[in-house]
Amino acid sequence: MKTLVAVVCALGLAVPVQAQTPDAAGRWEATFYTQDGPTPATMVLEKTGDKLAGTISSHLGDAPVEGTQKGADLSLAIAADLGNGPVTITLTGRLNGDVITGTADIGGEMQLDWGAKRAAAAGGGSKEAADKALDVTGTWGLEVTTQAGGGSPTVTLEQNGEALSGRYSGQLGEAPLTGTLKGTAITFQFPVDVQGTSYTVVYTGSVEKDTMKGTVRLGDMGEGTFTGTRRK
């Protein structure tokens, strides 16, 4: 028997070591697939044992995240304010390498799909290096599509950390704008006045180097989608 054990070990026929499940800790670029279109967010997680904790950032601001990882299965809870008071968003998902796919429960009243990709480890993978790598400063040409028609406005953006400032020029006239860039999630807004009625136009989307895309809300007058390309 001892000889048989020795032969098995020598031939590498011992019980194989189980493949290790990837760790969910790190920086993730998430997308939530809502009725209004895809909504981007950036999530940073830390792992202690099977406990997860961190923050998620989107055009709605920052919110704490807590949850667990058991094997490849994730369960996360987000205490968020969606504009109508506090609500708990429960995320369930499965981790496969650098990709997460799953469903999100919004306060027990709505469910939608979500997914995330692990952010590239540029500059050692630190949050500061990743934020610094993306800068939207410049002039952007936009293509906007709504039920009422389309347009091709131009926005000039200047970035200072996560804060954005600049100017809109297009079919709605000209106006100063403000906004934020958190990870790849961008939002900017500006006021307009149409026939004596004032409202705020809000662009929300995601950026990838010299392109962006997302949704635009024209106050209470409607909404649509947009794409953008950096001109200079």
> In a 3-state reduction of DSSP, which class is residue 4?
helix
| pLDDT band per the 50, 70, 90 thresholds, residue 13 | very low
CB 207 within 8 A of CB 181: yes
Q: Grade residue 21 by pLDDT with cuts at 50, 70 and 90.
A: low
Instruction: With CA atoms as reference, report the closest residue to 143 among 39, 225, 83.
Output: 225
Which range among 2-6, 103-107, 132-136 shows the weakest confidence by mean pLDDT?
Answer: 2-6
* Tokens matching residue 86: 């506090």
Give the CATH superfamily of 134-230: Quinohemoprotein amine dehydrogenase alpha subunit, domain 2 (2.40.128.120)
* Average model confidence (pLDDT) across the chain: 82
The structural domains of the chain, with segments of one domain joined by +, span 26-129, 134-230
The string of DSSP codes covering 182-207 is: ETTEEEEEEEEEETTEEEEEEEEEEE
According to CATH, what is the number of the domain 26-129? 2.40.128.120
Q: Which amino acid is at 90?
A: T
DSSP 153: -
* Pairwise pLDDT comparison (219 vs 162), residue with the higher score: 162
Look up the pTM and report it: 0.51
Work out the average pLDDT over 111-140: 70
Distance, in Å, from the CA atom of 135 to the CA atom of 154, rounded to the nearest integer, reads 17
- 1 vs 72, more confident: 72
Task: Check whether 10 has a pLDDT greater than 50.
Answer: no
pLDDT for res 87 = 86
Let me know how many helices (H) and strands (E) the chain has, helices first. 2, 17
Q: pLDDT grade, residue 122 (50/70/90)?
A: very low
Are 26-129 and 134-230 the same fold in CATH?
A: yes
- The answer on pLDDT for 162 being more than 80 is yes
Instruction: Check whether 218 has a pLDDT greater than 70.
Output: yes
Q: Is the pLDDT of residue 199 over 70?
A: yes
Residue 15 has pLDDT above 90, yes or no: no
Question: How many Cβ atoms sit within 10 Å of the Cβ of residue 55?
Answer: 15
pLDDT in tens, 172-192: 889 999 999 888 889 999 998
At residue 18 the predicted structure's pLDDT band, cuts being 50, 70 and 90, is very low
What residues contact 169, with CB distance under 8 A and at least 6 apart? 153, 154, 155, 156
